[in-house]
Chain A
Amino acid sequence: DVKVTQSSRYLVKRTGEKVFLECVQDMDHENMFWYRQDPGLGLRLIYFSYDVKMKEKGDIPEGYSVSREKKERFSLILESASTNQTSMYLCASSPPRVGAQQETQYFGPGTRLLVL
């Protein structure tokens, strides 16, 4: 079974703090993703990575950065947290696409972040 774990289930931070959200997967997946989920807006992609030290912006990267120093670990960084970054953050991983076969994304349990 694929296992994607996130460092915290709940987190409370103050405006202006630097926040690190960690994600680890144990299936040797190349691809990793960070989403945020807000009521009425569904999941929105923040950043993704197809390989170590590689990153690509998603739909809403502003205010975030990421780090992928090891294949199994993908970190999301809020350089200076703001109240509009209060959200549920979800990490996912997937194997690489092989030919025309679609790769399925597997999600972690999520981190609910509150910025005061």
Chain B
Amino acid sequence: DAKTTQPPSMDCAEGRAANLPCNHSTISGNEYVYWYRQIHSQGPQYIIHGLKNNETNEMASLIITEDRKSSTLILPHATLRDTAVYYCIVRPLGNQFYFGTGTSLTVIP
């Protein structure tokens, strides 16, 4: 049940900000936006989530547009260890997660 659209791959220079976009034009009022990442051969790791306000934690910032139809995950200073597949998930309250195919981010030295 693909509710999000992400570019399949992106590159980012080490030390620069990585901005990962996600379109979720059919999002409804009670659906949250979640971001996870998966480093090769490991389980997905929670990054951040939000409903309509921008959010920031020690890992990243989440910017959600006013109409909530898109969002951007920002890694402020990308490192080589940030190379991973990043998943944007739109999740109704209480329902399961649906992971798509995500964006493969490569951080280049």
Contact = CB atoms under 8 A, between A and B. Distances in A.
Contacts of B87: 42
B98 to A, nearest CB: 8
A102 B43 contact: no
A107 B44 contact: yes
A41 to B, nearest CB: 8
Interface in B86-109: 87, 91, 93-94, 96-102
A90 interface: yes
Contacts of B102: 42
Contacts of A92: 43
Q: How large is the interface on A (under 10, 10 to 19, 20 to 34, 35 or more residues)?
A: 20 to 34
B49 interface: yes
A6 B99 CA distance: 20
Contacts, number: 48
B93 A90 contact: no
Interface of A: 4, 33, 35, 37, 40-43, 45, 48, 58, 90-92, 97, 100, 102, 104-110, 112
27 contacts: A35-B99, A42-B87, A42-B98, A42-B99, A42-B100, A42-B101, A43-B97, A43-B98, A45-B96, A58-B96, A90-B43, A91-B43, A92-B43, A97-B94, A100-B93, A102-B49, A104-B34, A104-B46, A104-B49, A106-B46, A107-B43, A107-B44, A107-B45, A108-B43, A109-B43, A110-B42, A112-B41
Interface of B: 32, 34, 41-46, 49, 87, 91, 93-94, 96-102
